Chains A and B, each alone.
Chain A
Amino acid sequence: MSALADLLASGIVRTVLMGAAMLGAISGMLGAFAVLRRQSLLGDALSHAALPGVCLGFIIAGTRDLGSILLGAFVTGALAALAMMLIVRRTTLKTDAALGIVLSVFFAVGVVLLSWVQGQGGAASAGLASFLFGQAAAILRSDLWIMGGVGLAALALVLALWKEFKLVSFDADFARAQGFPVTVLEAALTVMVALAIVVGLQLVGVVLMVALLIAPAAAARQWTRTLGPMVALSAALGAASGAAGALVSATTRGLATGPVVVLVATAIVVISLLVAPERGLIWQALAARRARARISDGRLLKTLQGLAAAHHDANYPAEQGMLEAALGTRAPSARFAALERRGLIHPVTHPPETTPHWELTTAGHAEAAALSGKPDDPKGGGQT
């Protein structure tokens, strides 16, 4: 713990942590809209398309100046979005083909530019490759101001157009019918995705940026059904992944930040998918188990009731093996025990046979009658 405290005392580490958390928060906030609008993979295409912009920004500025690099990334990202739109609207190619074309071609041009810059030599050009996988350690104190500015601008835009973005994200057709400028709003959301990518580049790099957009939002979606909390939670999870990833990569030599951040974010998603209340896979499995148990209990009771009625003997002892064979339910012995605990059936012996037998108690008869009183209830289930 004291090692951590020492680490946090260092100014550089604090800068990196703050930067990483800020970037994660911005990406998480804007990624929520991308995920809801099913544009997750657009983020992938736009982030790969940022590479030529990074190189162009570097070539034009001549140094590793963050402002011009981010501007370049933003411009080529926006160009890629335009190219996407052009291909989807004016050709019969499907959206995914358009995404793949834009992603790979822009990236290829970026690779060519990158190799050209590296061929020119110069110390600064080496840092350019860190935009592939991110290097949070390279964040400078002055960079924080740029990121903070971009983040505040994005936040202000989201708050100012909250209602409009909400409507466009959930029901674009209705928004259009209500007279909202849907195309403009969608363009604004796409531009903001590009913006989130641009600021996230330093943290996770062009290749893995898509995960920082999607993962916090996908995780947040599991915990809430309301847009406001989802966006806030997504930003918080993004910030947490960013900070954790930056911390790990800053303390381990030669570890790029991007992959660590992505793995942290993925772990958060996996946990959310498993344990989120109601939606989570574990809860789903539990609910399914409970439903199965309820159905097999009902069938068991009704079978016993039917046997009792057929034999004109309310305390008719039914053999367990016969019931299991008749019902064919999986692991029924556990159900016998459960029903006995609820006081609905109780075990009896039926000499000379030695196998276990069961009969309905009074409460069991009442329960079975209640089940047959609602023949429409599918959960009653006993078709004996």
Chain B
Amino acid sequence: MIASFFGSIPAMILLTGILVGVSGALLGSFLVLRGNAMLTDAISHSIVFGIIVVWLLTGHMSGPVQVLGAALTGVLTVVLSELLARSRLVKMDAAIGLVFPALFAAGVLLISIYARDVHIDVQTVLLGEIGFVWLNTVMIWGVDVPIAVTTLGAVLVVNLAFVLVLWKELKLTTFDPGLAAALGFLPVALHYAVLTLTSVTAVAAFDAVGAILFIAFVIVPPATAYLLTRRLWLMVVLAVGLSVAACVAGYLLAIMWNVSIAGMMASMTGLWFAIALLFAPDHGLIAQAFGWRSKRLDHDCRALVAHLFTHQDTPQMAEENTQRALVEHLRWPAPRARAAILRAHDRDLIERRAGLLTLRPKGTAEAEAIFGKTDLRQR
């Protein structure tokens, strides 16, 4: 039963994707909230250099030595970028953009010089080979388990433990690093801990999804979850769930259309983001547009009531308190004026008699509330 699960190719591919997605989403939630998302970009590019150097030095293509050795390059990139920015010769964004392409370029060159015939080639570096993760297996308790699955499983356990054990500290340093430092927590240490784990995860995920698609797994599901909720624990849970959903949907579509599996999984995270961006209940574009319209309508109602109140019982009343005056004097477009009158009428604020708009008692009360009970006409 277990052996057949670990022997099944689709199950292993899916499991690998899900392990990458969940590990990435756990850390990504904090990276996105802390404004460090682009450091993921830098890390995931520059570990290529670390992976090839470790391979050249030790001959390890997987396992703990390779993961830790290559992860050092990721942390090194961050440290170098921060040092460069601190010299104030270049800004932080340019510093990031100088360090990681250099390391990445060096890694790619080393690959094309030394490793041309080995199983990593330049395109695998970018795109990963999630379809072939089942080829390299290791025997665990009498069951053949893909190496990628064991490595990623271990990384997931570490990430999960890190997030659960240091939940309170992570939450505090993420939202208020100043307070965290004042209370004696170590925001800088946590910052580097998160980035180190991101590097480790990137290296472990490298075989499966490559250097760049990894960024999608780390940043996009947490960012999507961020649009949907304002609670940290819910955001992390949603991000994990979205990752899993993206992996399953991406795998099925990739098989159907015969395209890159990892690419399709990453694309699906993008689809979830686009959907959330449009339809998120509070912060989505559509909700924003409706919210904006209804706010403007409310405001127009108040302006209309104030306008009518100002001119009520004055000689200009016959001219001012009409729909035409709203268009000609207040310069409202006709549909806007009509909508405001309808809304005010629905709320029993005004009534229309023979083209003349007059305030109902409720409208008068609202206008008095606006003007603070002072009758403007007596001033």
Contacts and interface: CB of A to CB of B under 8 A. Distances in A.
Quick one: which of A101, A221, A254 has the most chain B CB within 10 A? Answer: A101
A93 interface: yes
Nearest to A276: B89
B216 A108 contact: yes
B212 to A, nearest CB: 5
B32 A211 contact: no
A273 B80 CA distance: 14
Quick one: which of A108, A113, A116, A256 has the most chain B CB within 10 A? Answer: A108
Contact of B97 (A44, A97, A103, A106): A44
Interface of A: 35, 38-41, 43-44, 48, 86-87, 90-94, 96-97, 99-101, 103-116, 119, 129, 132-133, 207-208, 210-211, 213-215, 217-218, 221-222, 254-256, 258-260, 262-263, 266, 269, 273, 279, 281
B227 interface: yes
Given A103-B41, A104-B220, A214-B94, A208 B89 contact: no
Given A41-B97, A116-B259, 14 more contacts: A38-B91, A40-B91, A41-B38, A86-B285, A91-B277, A100-B37, A104-B270, A108-B216, A133-B122, A207-B126, A213-B97, A215-B101, A218-B90, A259-B105
A208 B277 contact: no
Given A38-B91, A90-B285, A43 B97 contact: yes
B72 interface: no
A91 B288 CA distance: 10
Given A96-B38, A101-B273, A133-B122, A48 B212 contact: yes
A104 B45 CA distance: 12
Contact of A93 (B41, B226, B262): B226
A211 B97 contact: yes
B213 interface: yes
B257 interface: yes
A286 B51 CA distance: 37
15 contacts: A35-B94, A41-B96, A91-B277, A96-B37, A97-B37, A100-B220, A101-B223, A105-B220, A105-B266, A107-B216, A110-B263, A210-B97, A213-B97, A266-B98, A281-B89
B215 interface: yes
A41 B101 contact: no
A260 B91 CA distance: 24
Contacts of B277: 86-87, 91
Contact of A132 (B93, B126, B220): B126
Interface in B158-209: none
Contacts of B89: 221-222, 273, 279, 281
Nearest to B276: A91
Given A214-B97, A263-B105, A100 B91 contact: no
Nearest to B283: A91
B89 to A, nearest CB: 6
Contact of B270 (A105, A214, A259, A269): A105
A100 B222 CA distance: 11
B109 A260 contact: yes
Quick one: which of A106, A210, A281 has the most chain B CB within 10 A? Answer: A210
Interface in B75-111: 84, 87, 89-91, 93-94, 96-98, 101-102, 104-106, 108-109
Quick one: which of A38, A44, A119, A129 has the most chain B CB within 10 A? Answer: A44
Tell me if B's interface is mostly helix, strand, loop or mixed.
helix
B249 to A, nearest CB: 13
Contacts of B352: none
A90 B94 contact: no
A211 B98 contact: yes
Contacts of B94: 35, 38, 40, 214, 217-218
A263 B219 CA distance: 28
B267 interface: yes
Given A48-B212, A97-B219, A111-B266, A91 B227 contact: yes
B307 to A, nearest CB: 32
A40 B97 contact: yes
B161 to A, nearest CB: 25
A115 B285 contact: no
Given A112-B260, A115-B263, A129-B123, A105 B283 contact: no
B264 interface: yes
B97 A112 contact: no
A211 B102 CA distance: 8
A378 to B, nearest CB: 22
A262 B93 contact: no
Contacts of A39: 93
Interface in B274-294: 277, 283, 285, 288
A262 B100 CA distance: 11
B116 interface: yes
B8 interface: no
Contacts of A107: 212-213, 216, 266
A211 B90 contact: no
B40 interface: yes
B93 A41 contact: yes
Contact of B215 (A103, A111, A215, A254): A103
A266 B112 contact: no
A179 to B, nearest CB: 23
Nearest to B257: A116
A104 B109 contact: no
Contact of B219 (A104, A112, A214): A104
B109 A259 contact: yes
B314 interface: no
A104 B213 contact: yes
A111 B102 contact: no
